[in-house]
Amino acid sequence: MPIDSYAKALNTFDLKKVPIFCLIPTIMMSDKSKEIITSKVELEHVISQMFANFKQISLKTFMPILQQTMGLSGSLFFSKMRWQFFDEHDQHCFGCATSYTLQKMPDEQLQIIVAVIDDDENQREAIFPLLSNL
């Protein structure tokens, strides 16, 4: 998962491209709960709701800052990222740390299997209200 490609898919609100970065089942976790997404349809629904929420609170640009990557095994990797969220006026709104467990696929692409959201700025509900348990 080249992070630039993932960020570009997010920044263009591309509902067809964002899901290709995830391997089903995908697990989303936070301090409060876990959500297991078990189908492509469910994943597309969650992403569609996420995009609607981004637009509702006027978020337009998402900039990743890679903090750490390390191999866990031959095909599993861990990456820690800090996402910066900007509005339509390119004003910084907030940041959110997210850790990913990724799996390298036969085509050499990395796909997300687990995303751990660290809502350190308490903004998760504005972004992911659909995942109310997270």
Q: What is the pLDDT of residue 29?
A: 87
Task: Provide CB contacts within 8 A for 103, sequence distance 6+.
Answer: 23, 75, 76, 77, 110, 111, 113
Q: Where are the domains of the chain?
A: 3-121
Using the predicted structure, report yes or no on whether residue 32 has a pLDDT greater than 80. Answer: no
Per-residue pLDDT averaged across 45-71, rounded? 89
Tens digit of each residue's pLDDT (9 = 90 or more) over 75-93: 999 999 999 989 899 999 8
Neighbours of 82 (CB within 10 A): 15
pTM for this entry: 0.83
- The CATH fold of domain 3-121: Nuclear Transport Factor 2; Chain: A, (3.10.450)
